Amino acid sequence: MRMTPLVVLLGSFIVVFSVVIGNVILPPQVFHPAPSPNARPYTALELEGRESYVRNGCVYCHSQDARPMDWGNGSGMASQPGDYAYDSPHLIGSERQGPDLSHEAGYHTDDWHWAHFEDPRYTRPQSFMPDFSYIQGRERVALIAYMQCLGGRDGVARAAQQARLKVNLIKYYQKGPAENIPYLQSTFPPGWVNKIPNPVPVTSGSVERGRVLYVAYCAGCHGEAGDGRGPAKPYLNPPPMDFTLVQASGASTQGGQPGYHYDYRKNEVSSISQGAIYYAVLYGIPGSAMPQFKGQLESEKIWDVGNYVGWAFMGWKLEPYTGRYEELTRRPWEHTWEIGQPRVARADAPVPNVGR
């Protein structure tokens, strides 16, 4: 066949339409998977929220597809075809400018979502997501209801558990810090509160690293001054913890006075252990807006954040550094360099010309 412009044009149309038919038109007509055990129909309110999700372009930045290589990073399970049995059209998405939302339900509380839609920087200070403060009233309630159903039956169960736990958290918050702090720590494994030593000393370096992380992840709720008065506070119940009311007794919590002691004159409680702070950052406080950070921060970074919180807001003192810094900063001509030999000053070591 002679290659003429008309033949090339017709051939191009055939290829394009074949791809469209095979990948866009046919699959919805012939592929109808049975609902997976985790799938569930949407309620009327959730369907309203789903429409708002599409209308406001959330699908452009958030996917809803936990790939097999993703599920070990906190997604719970890889997505199955039957998970989307009640979706029409599906909202799997192709972009991940923000986190994947396929299992979002129950990982944050309703009030966290409310603050997040008001301004994402309230809950994630470094977020580049635009604010959706114009979504108000029933529409925002519906959108949050949709967020709290993503993840199927497992996700809905997580969200319901958050709502149940919130009741006690609010009750003890209203009792004041003298009872609230012990109650919160009673929900943690005892070993974390009383026995876990801090492997990262409270040094100036650790505190500075923790400060950077605190500003990036924590200041939106707990405030720059650690007083729980971040911009998200008006939307959260119970409010974020005021660290300035939780004073550690002594140079560090491990050397401090055990137990809980309330000073009515200063309205302070001592003490909260480093292990308890680590556990709260790692796993969050279910029922509150405090989320888990185990999928975002490595272990040493969590200890650094705790060290900064303790030093900046709770009276912890810096600990002397006992590492090799002093050894490494000695002038090289003061040592011998034979492997395995003690590093002692050499009498014949050349004197450096400092003015050279």
How are beta strands 261-263 and 268-270 bridged, if at all? Answer: antiparallel
pLDDT band at 330 (very low <50, low <70, confident <90, very high): low
Phi, psi of 219 (to 5 degrees): -65, -25
218 closest CA partner among 299, 290, 159, 279: 290
177 closest CA partner among 271, 294, 309, 289: 271
The predicted pLDDT at position 157 comes to 96
Structure tokens belonging to residue 44: 């009327």
Q: Is the pTM of this model over 0.85?
A: no
pLDDT over 60 (residue 227): yes
Helix axes 152-175, 110-118, angle to 10 degrees: 90
pLDDT, one tens digit per residue, over 57-86 is: 999 999 998 888 776 555 667 888 899 999
The predicted pLDDT at position 255 comes to 42
Structure tokens belonging to residue 177: 């810090």
The predicted pLDDT at position 332 comes to 52
pLDDT over 80 (residue 143): yes
**Cα-based angle 236, 232, 316 (whole degrees, multiple of 5):** 95
Place of tokens 């839609």: 117
Of the segments 20-34, 240-254, 319-333, 342-356, which one has the largest average pLDDT value?
A: 20-34
Q: Which residues is 269 bridged to in the sheet? A: 246, 262
**Domains in the chain, CATH or no CATH each:** 39-175 (1.10.760.10), 176-313 (1.10.760.10)
Mean pLDDT over residues 164-186, rounded?
89
Place of tokens 């290589």: 69
The predicted pLDDT at position 228 comes to 93
CB atoms within 10 A of CB 239: 20
114 closest CA partner among 148, 72, 71, 80: 148
Which residues, 6 or more positions from 44, have their beta carbon under 8 angstroms from its beta carbon?
A: none
The predicted pLDDT at position 122 comes to 94
289 closest CA partner among 114, 101, 53: 114
pLDDT, one tens digit per residue, over 3-12 is: 788 888 888 9
83 closest CA partner among 34, 43, 50: 34
Query: What's the one-letter identity of residue 70?
Result: D
Of the segments 106-120, 233-247, 305-319, 330-344, which one has the largest average pLDDT value?
A: 106-120
Mean pLDDT over residues 202-227, rounded?
94
Phi, psi of 275 (to 5 degrees): -65, -35
pLDDT, one tens digit per residue, over 16-71 is: 989 888 877 777 777 778 899 999 999 999 999 999 999 999 999 999 988 887 76
pLDDT band at 339 (very low <50, low <70, confident <90, very high): very low
Name the CA radius of gyration of the chain, rounded.
28
The predicted pLDDT at position 72 comes to 58
Report CA torsion sign: 18, 23, 27, 29: negative
SS3 27: helix
pLDDT band at 249 (very low <50, low <70, confident <90, very high): very low
DSSP state letter for 35: P
Instruction: Give the percent of the chain with pLDDT over 70.
Output: 81
For the chain, the average pLDDT equals: 82
